[in-house]
Amino acid sequence: MKTAKEKIAYLRGLLEGGNLYGKDRGDRVLWENVLEILDDVAVAINALSANQDELTEYVEAIDSDLMDLEDEVYGDAEQDDWVEVDCPECGEPVTFEEGFLYDDDVQVTCPECGGVVHQGENFQDFDDFLDYEDEDDEDEE
């Protein structure tokens, strides 16, 4: 892919070699100024691109340092214990944090079929709560 400087040089060659300026001196001055401005813009874009590359490297270095610091302070998140259980409905493996096994108010469902993989003893389904409300409304009528 050609750079902006190469494209501007090509355009300059077309204008000069093909006598596309026209016979009017004003047209020639106008085109020369436009090409000069384009040269300046191309130089500025190249400088911005170089600065952007430098900033990208700097941010990546900071990100790496921050990740190291977070691992040092908070510990490695990958050390958490995970459990893998096959879904009783579809047989797909479902992975979740081991802590959910000891939480009585949680239900773990399969992301594939929606089947219940694990349910705590005190889990209350929100849908059951809504159905219970509907039954009360029917009793009042």
Every domain of the chain and the residues it spans:
4-74, 80-140
* Alpha helices (runs of H) in the chain, residue ranges in sequence order: 4-17, 25-74, 126-140
State the CB neighbour count (10 A cutoff) for residue 8: 19
Residue 15: predicted pLDDT: 79
Mean pLDDT by 10 residues, the chain (141 residues): 84 77 74 90 93 97 94 71 88 87 84 86 66 54 53
Residue 135: predicted pLDDT: 54
Residue 38: predicted pLDDT: 92
Residue 107: predicted pLDDT: 85
Residue 40: predicted pLDDT: 93
Structure tokens, 71: 């691992």
Residue 139: predicted pLDDT: 55
Strand pairing category for 82-86 and 107-109: unpaired
Residue type present at position 55: L
